[in-house]
Structure 1
């Protein structure tokens, strides 16, 4: 009988282990964002995000660097949400006709509430606090 120190891995054991590692890696990559600081908005309070004229009524403006999407669901009403899709943590891609779209996998959200309207997204976009001062939209 061999001791544990003498046991050598055969090909089947090695490839089984590599297969399990590949599955674990793939599943980890499919996990959505956990809400960590790297996935959420990176904006200091008081930072000017945009001019009100840059956000169309019924549409919006995606600020990729800040990971924020600004919307104007109705004239003079401005909202802000994280621009990180809750499905796989990718940035949303457009805002039109009152809907925030993530073309990566088909999720959609309400431009007024951030609630899921369709697709694989499991939860709403997180609200981002803003203030409107004159014609400027600022992070709160």
Structure 2
């Protein structure tokens, strides 16, 4: 395979948009964590449900941190690849670009797992809401 300096540059917009999306997820989860903490302190009867949501949230935060780390490493490898091409180290640059692609793939895989866990968390929240609604009605 022979790539030129513009090939890794093609990943720049994709990686930066992914990192922005990951940051937005992180901010949303941080807000949710603060809200769960308040609910946990205020509602002793809900502690079992809230505790499972908090455990779920902790796992999701770890996944998002790792997604971001892999995305940043992928971005770093893209830039390093371009530097190596500029310095005339084509073969090494191609391996670094391959590493960048695998890091990006890992980040996307973790994103998929986090999305699955997020869906389970929403189901848990809806189940809790349905139980509260049916017990009142």
TM-score normalized by the length of structure 1: 0.22
Higher strand content, 1 or 2: 1
* Structure with the greater alpha carbon radius of gyration: 1
